[in-house]
Structure 1
Amino acid sequence: MRRLLFSKNAQFYCKPLAGIVLSALMVASSHAATYHIDPTHTNVRFAIDHFKTSTNTGGFYNLTGQLEYDPAAKIGNILLTIPLNSLMTGDKAFDIALKSPDFFDIEKFPLAHFESTKWYFQTDKNRSAVTKVDGTLTLHGKTNPVTLTATKFNCYLSYVLKKSVCGGDFTTTIDRTKWGISKYTLLGITEKVDLTIQIEAAKQ
């Protein structure tokens, strides 16, 4: 009987408490400033080993999306849309091959998306520095978790835009086979792909 009463009381008190915590998180998130991605300073570049001899590189450009950021409250969120048709490697024939059904299959999957799920901060010298960002990458019709390591992230007042701009560089390594892109892995081209993501966004 006592256990039953405790269980009921716990449920009675936990429900309002959960509501208070959720409300607090929503209020905190609402105070984060909103920034729109600057396509001219935002890109995703990749590097993949080529039969252990050289490295193939390329990038995706003209990204769009939105950043929400409040370093004081240690809040961050980012949404990125990556147009795969913007792929450039410096070799037109290679571009065509990568855009084909053998790899990105851009006619069927023209866009990739990244959405953050958690930001990590480290307080140093009275300021909060972004260290890494967890999120999900949707590519080639599949969604998998990824973690981006921040090599730098900062905000500044743009004298050209007359507003605050935030941005930085992030790195990660993914296994392309998790997104169903496995062409030539049996012939010796690695499944590991290094990504470098450059982001800049202007405050709205």
Structure 2
Amino acid sequence: MYRLSFLHTVRYCHKPLIGLLLSAWMVASSHAATYHIDPTHTNVRFAIDHFKTSTNTGGFYNLTGQLEYDPAAKIGNISLTIPLNSLMTGDKAFDIALKSPDFFDIGKYPLARFESTKWYFQTDKNRSAVTKVDGMLTMHGKTNPVTLTATKFNCYLSYVLKKSVCGGDFTTTIDRTQWGISKYTLLGITEKVDLTIQIEAAKQ
């Protein structure tokens, strides 16, 4: 009788402890891993119509930032810093014009930033895939919401780095006038700018 009472007491006392350990395990298992952005494989490229005759293109490089990602728990977060002085179009005169106060005004606004606010996942064949990412883009002294559509996103084990690497491609179209960049819109250069963002980050 005493033994049964003792065992019952042990079980009862351990219930809160077991619950606490289980909760801790669940929190730990859903904690997103941290990845550092690889500047050599991360960039933002743009395309804008030029008087309805051709498309001007260019890009920003050497981006920095951090990715947090856990596909099992469907958790994602990313922050990117874009150095606008890295702008390259293949035309030095055009680069200078875009960096001037008429457009990006990099002397006053040298950086652009993107901070995600929500990630969307779709489960297909027992695998969670990223479909899009909402976030806030700060540029030219203004911050506005944007939605990035994922054309692909995946993780793999890098034999060179000997660690997990995640990355993908995203697209969106923005209205540059929302960031106060409206030069030549009345002359025929559209306000719509197509963006393609390539991201790659290594696990820390």
| 1:79 equivalenced with 2:79 (yes/no) | yes
Corresponding residue for residue 203 of structure 1: 203
Compared with structure 1, are the counterparts of its residues 56 and 29 closer, same or farther at alpha carbon in structure 2 (3 Å cutoff)?
Answer: farther
Unaligned runs of 5+ in 2: 1-22
Q: What's the counterpart of residue 130 of structure 2?
A: 130
Q: Which runs of 4+ in 1 moved over 3 A?
A: 27-30
Look up the match of 1:54.
54
Mapped partners of 1:92, 1:196: distance in 2 = 22
Shift of 1:30: 6.9
2:10 alignment counterpart: none
Task: State the alpha-carbon separation in 2 of the partners of residues 125 and 146 from structure 1.
Answer: 29
Partner of 2:16: none
User: Structure 1 pair 191/28, CA: closer, same or farther in 2 (3 Å)?
Assistant: farther
SS in structure 1 of the partner of residue 96 of structure 2: helix
Give the letter for the 1:108 counterpart.
K
Q: Could you say what the CA RMSD is over the residues aligned between the two structures, in angstroms?
A: 1.5
Q: Which residue number corresponds to residue 44 of structure 1? A: 44
C-alpha displacement at 1:28, in angstroms? 7.0
Helix, strand or coil at the partner of 2:97: helix
Q: Alpha-carbon deviations, 1:92-120, whole Å to 9, x = none?
A: 00000000000000000000000000000
Aligned length: 180
For the 8 Å contact 1:28–1:73, the answer to whether it is kept is no
Structure 1 residue 142 corresponds to structure 2 residue 142? yes
For structure 1, which runs of at least 5 residues remain unmatched after alignment?
A: 1-22
After superposition, the C-alpha distances for 1:103-157 in whole angstroms (9 at most, x for unaligned) are 0000000000000000000000111000000000000000000000000000000
SS in 1 for 2:128: strand
TM-score (norm 2): 0.86
SS in 2 for 1:160: coil
Alpha-carbon separation, structure 2, partners of 1:151 and 1:30:
25
For the residues of structure 1 that align with 2:162 and 2:31, how far apart are their CA atoms? 21
